[in-house]
Amino acid sequence: MIQRQREIRRHAWAQDEGIPRSFRSGRLNALMDWSADGSSVRPSLGPAARCESSIIATLRHVAGTRGGFDALVADIERGLRAEGWAEHTSVSHELQMWARLGQTVGTYSMTVDDYTNDLCSRDYLDLALVRLPAEARARLTGLVAPLDEAFRSDTVADDCGLLWRFFRVGVDAGWWWFRIPRGGPLAEYLSASAGD
């Protein structure tokens, strides 16, 4: 089932309803709900999709016009790519990935490498936030805050530095790098690794 989820993530699922190209190319995906046997999937408009709609509306309001909005988002994404972020990254995509992690971190069943990769979504959002005009930044922060809270509620402080054994975490890293899942397979794996 995890492999099927990765395949869905790789395929763009977007409706072209006036959504700027930068968001479509960033894979504006609705969250996916799997059937009990994992054989079928259907779109589910969850928190990430609702956040994206709010971000689009917020940034359009601040930029004033669609052209201004597209330019604002494109400049932010282009700047981050110039700093080394992958081509598939976008504000929209990383917001969606952060929302997904917040919903699943309590039962996270993927590897520690996948987990650290998923944490990078929040790094991207943090870097994008500082590039936004003040009004858009404040509103985006308001949208990210509940996702942060969802993540915090299903994680615990990594006081023993368990994650550090697998990934170099700098002391200046964001707070999310100092939290690990409260339960689930990854939490068990990290706890077991403490004895190594």
pLDDT tier at 127, thresholds 50, 70, 90: very high
CB 180 within 8 A of CB 162: yes
Query: What is the residue range of 161's domain?
Result: 2-193
User: Among the ranges 2-16, 37-51, 156-170, which has the highest mean pLDDT value?
Assistant: 156-170
Judged against a pLDDT cut of 80, whether residue 91 lies above it is answered with: yes
> Under a CB-based contact definition with an 8 Å cutoff, are residues 132 and 140 in contact?
yes
What's the angle, vertex CA 14, arms to CA 12 and CA 19, rounded to 5? 125
Report which of residues 45 and 12 the model is more confident about.
45
* pTM of the predicted structure, to 2 decimals: 0.68
Distance CA 60, CA 57 (A): 5
pLDDT at 59: 59
> How many domains does one find in the chain?
1
| Amino acid found at 160 | C
The pLDDT mean for the chain works out to 74
The confidence score (pLDDT) of residue 181 equals 96
C-alpha–C-alpha distance, residues 186 and 193, integer Å? 10
Query: Is residue 130 within 8 Å of 137, Cβ to Cβ?
Result: yes
- Nearest partner of 164 among 178, 175, 148, 182, judged by Cα: 178
Question: 179 vs 73, which has greater pLDDT?
Answer: 179
Q: Where does the pLDDT of residue 73 fall: very low under 50, low under 70, confident under 90, or very high at 90 and above?
A: confident
**Separation between Cα atoms, residue 3 and residue 6, nearest integer Å:** 5
Contact 112, 166 (CB under 8 A): yes
Residue 86's pLDDT is 93
**86 vs 50, higher pLDDT:** 86
